[in-house]
Structure 1
């Protein structure tokens, strides 16, 4: 059944400071809506215009996009900048509101649907909570490539997301090299928004390391990976889906709950870099690398299986099916 008359408006930003995670997962949701025939429009603040795309509605003040919000059949919000009062104001504009959340730390607010890939509980003001790893928003490539034969998983993947705001990639590469990790097993994935990407690329060429920059088919690289060192955020759910045990680096406070929940499941571990001064990072990076090198020598089969059980990559389909099956409020 198609939904060609439905108009979906998504409010999400991306920047070096914010990162790419909100935009990426909202685009997954947008694609799933589009596949059902809906028309989708992104709304982006002018301060994040450098990361906007053709067709986005770019605004300077909140009131500029409220008419779009009011007219939408379905309004989607994926933004930490909106507190409970601001979310309630959007709900008054449009009761068919889907909020994407990660931490449940904004107090009670009203919305029709609530999407959170963590298993958190919300108040009754959320009419339809959609929570847990099976609701994680992953691109279709992940459910496809998770079926790849794991015999090909031989690499140690190093990735710090689309922007790597703390510039951790190069220090980790250097630490792994100094400590003697075999370069033929190292796979470095650098996001398109990483500011020192060329410096990383030059170092990797000099030391004969594989470095991929601005990769779209992320799942193909993860399918080659036996273990990973990664920033937290949306990448956590991608690595879980692909069955890649990981040591995560926490770089923001809002990643704490996800790391706590998934570390307890046994497939990953984490180190907190928030509040760590630049001078302290070198020694902390070395400690992480030493731990990872010990883990690399162990049998990772059970951890990989535990990871795969958390996320199957079909979350976008589940969420869109639930939303479209609902009776929209006129």
Structure 2
């Protein structure tokens, strides 16, 4: 499947478009640093840096245009609503990132109002304010931020988010390479105290898919996104039993891609899911119905 094939494919499914919960639009200086990080992954000097955190592989970025160009690329693909995820990697930077992403949403009507936070004392104040201001989705990256989801500084944050029901795209799985705090155990600990959290486990929780699917089965508001799952880039076999679990949890699977920071065409994520042969109803639910329901996107 190529990008030009996607609109016709959506028509064949009978869906009005795609809701992509996992795309990245960031302040240009931040995005430039992210791209430089990915670019360095293929160099010998990156053996213990980007190359290690990206699983030791070269990672070319497919979509490098301006913000406006990338928005138009998504629209041409049929993406009706998309996130603008930034992720704070140190204290004191979340405010700058959030100001930019909220400004981006103000001038981009099909972008979700997206924000991030970090385990810092100020988060107990600024996260509730962001919720009150109408943020649609938060992003947290355990591996890049190098912090534990059950850090005590996040307890009031998780409490506010559980009360509001605001979704949080959480990268807590140990892919593409494990971090000090990745994995399902700390997430399960958080959910034991805040079972109403609307977590969206990024990347289907790779490689701990089964464990994160178990958390979704146990908790009403826990979902997973498909970002980079089953793509050829990783050449990983589909874990035993996972396709059946994806069918059982069909209403909890959201479509995500990591656009623009992907080393292949956008359409390949759809193709990778199609190859699971879970049926048209499943593809309709994942590409459109589930995301449209969660974020109130009109057909």
Q: TM-score, normalised by structure 2?
A: 0.30
**As a proportion of its length, which structure holds more helix?**
2
**As a proportion of its length, which structure holds more strand?**
1
Q: TM-score, normalised by structure 1?
A: 0.27
